Amino acid sequence: MKLPRSAVIVGGNRTPFVKAGGAYAQASNLDLLTAALDGLAARFGLAGRRLDEVAGGAVLKHSADFNLTREAVLGSALDPTTPAVDLQQACGTGLETVLYVANKIALGQADSGIGAGVDSASDAPITVTDGLRRALLAANRAKTLPQRLQALARIRPHHLLPIAPQVVEPRTGLSMGEHQAATTASWGITRAAQDELALASHQNLAAAWDAGFFDDLVTAYHGVTRDGLLRADTSAEKLAALKPVFGGTEGTMTAGNSTALTDGAAAVLLAEQSWAKANGLPALARIVDAQVAAIDHTSGDDLLLAPAHAVARLLERQGMQLGDFTFYELHEAFASTVLATLAAWESAQFCGDRLGLSKPLGSIERAKLNVHGSSLAAGHPFAATGGRIVASLAKALHTEGSGARGLVSICAAGGQGVVAILEAV
């Protein structure tokens, strides 16, 4: 399919990512998103300029932040007449904001825009119990004082306890880690393989920092200049010593091969290709195509394997093979998520029964996977991960030279997955 116009990635900017409750404990989603936008504006001379739209989002969001992205724009160096929209698709949010802007550019509805995402697990909204909420809402609706008192009289002491947000699938009651533990076991993903992937993530991210790869992708924030979760000195032995946190005592998933709760924000500048040129902006890579898919974990499907389906549909539409890419960016929600996805693509049974293919999609070269590190080492501020990946991949592809292609794959809560193809300009 030929798109009417070409949407290119001009560049990106993010804050360093840090562990929740750490250096950004006092920063809100709005603060972090504003910082990411300001850094992007500074990098590309966007101060005082009106862009066609900024799309942003957060997964853990206060109801007071109903217009989070618009408020961030108003607090940023961008022209205040730049419009904004909030999107949300769990961990797919960041990539979806990029696709939203890219699609508008491709269709001629916009020439320039930003796709962004932020999450602060430190600033997560605490909610009140259902009992208190319903009583307060009823009191609010009441027309007379006795009615109001009657409604308030329904409040019980235990209603007053606060409720912190949980990463639990509402329809199964299982946490994401518990879901993934079942997937890990059923695909027979070993502890050693998971730790190996985690180690590679830290080593790759550390090497990229040392090589200055992130110098034009990250802006220091709140005294932090590097990703705080990165353990450049970790080793196979250190990772092997960690106790399992999911899957019981016999489990293979540890704090070392699972992502930690993280704070951070990321933003990606997109533009129509000739508009970028006319405005003296670089063009790193264009968005070729994208696909979203979902599985039914409420019937027992593997919660985080929807990207395996999305990639199959995307390759089919593009007439491409799984091996046709220079780089692969598979979001490391857990090391075993990446490994189970790779195993699924290699499985004749999965590809036949679930994807309807006559032969497996095949293997990928591990040396091309997450070459600048991924979420295990960088951390995973849910909605910011898409922007981190897209900007890093676009830069890496551009360095490879025109025509180099990269595949992005991100799994999300609710049994969803969003994937995209980028191509170096």
Partner 1 sequence: MEVRELATVPAMGPLFAKALLPGFGHGPARIPSHTVRLSQVSQDLERLADYDRVCGFTVRDTVPPTWLHVLTFPLHVLLLSDPESTIRLAGVVHVSNQMQLHRPVRATEVLDISVRVTNLRPHQRGALLDLIGEVRVGDELVWDGVSTYLAPGAKVDGEPVVVERAANQSSTPIAQWRLPADLGRQYRRVSGDPNPIHTHLLAARAFGFARPLIHGMWTHARLLAAIEAKLPDRYRVEVSFTKPILLPAKVGAWWRSTGDHWDAAVTTIDGTKPHLIANIQVG
- Expressed in angstroms, the distance from the first to the final Cα of the chain is 18
Nearest in space to 92 (alpha carbons), one of 411, 396, 395: 411
CA separation for the pair 388, 62 (Å, rounded): 23
Least distance in Å: CB of 390 to partner 1?
A: 34
CA separation for the pair 102, 111 (Å, rounded): 9
Nearer to partner 1 (CB atom), residue 127 or residue 203: 127
Answer for the pair 37, 114: CB distance below 8 angstroms, yes or no.
yes
Least distance in Å: CB of 156 to partner 1?
A: 9
Nearest in space to 259 (alpha carbons), one of 116, 362, 388, 407: 388
CA separation for the pair 278, 114 (Å, rounded): 18
Cβ atoms within 10 A of the Cβ of 191, count?
19
Least distance in Å: CB of 121 to partner 1?
A: 22
Least distance in Å: CB of 300 to partner 1?
A: 5
Specify the DSSP class assigned to residue 15.
P
Least distance in Å: CB of 303 to partner 1?
A: 11
Nearer to partner 1 (CB atom), residue 235 or residue 298: 298
Least distance in Å: CB of 250 to partner 1?
A: 13
Which is the catalytic residue, given 179, 331, 372, 411?
Answer: 411
Nearer to partner 1 (CB atom), residue 182 or residue 260: 182
Nearer to partner 1 (CB atom), residue 190 or residue 298: 298
Answer for the pair 149, 135: CB distance below 8 angstroms, yes or no.
no
Nearer to partner 1 (CB atom), residue 153 or residue 220: 153
Which is the catalytic residue, given 62, 91, 179, 331?
Answer: 91
Please, is 86 exposed, middle or buried when counting C-beta atoms within 10 Å of its C-beta (0-12, 13-18, 19+)?
buried
Q: Identify whether 380 is a catalytic site residue.
A: yes
Q: Which residue has the tokens 């019937």?
A: 299
Which is the catalytic residue, given 202, 309, 380, 398?
Answer: 380
Q: What secondary structure does DSSP assign to 305-326, as a single string?
A: -HHHHHHHHHHHHHT--TT--S
**Which residues contact partner 1 (rule: CB under 8 A)?**
130, 158, 171-174, 178, 182, 297-300
Least distance in Å: CB of 255 to partner 1?
A: 22
CA 246, chain centre distance (Å): 22
Q: Identify whether 309 is a catalytic site residue.
A: no
Q: Identify whether 411 is a catalytic site residue.
A: yes
Residue 129 CB contacts under 8 Å (≥ 6 apart), including other chains: 158, 159, 160, 161, 163
Nearer to partner 1 (CB atom), residue 74 or residue 174: 174
391 Ramachandran zone, left/alpha/beta (phi>0; psi -120 to 50): alpha
Least distance in Å: CB of 299 to partner 1?
A: 7
Q: How many CA atoms lie within 13 A of 75 on its CB side?
A: 15
Helix (H, G, I), strand (E, B) or coil at 160: helix
Nearest in space to 172 (alpha carbons), one of 59, 258, 301, 58: 301
Q: Residues with catalytic annotation?
A: 91, 380, 411
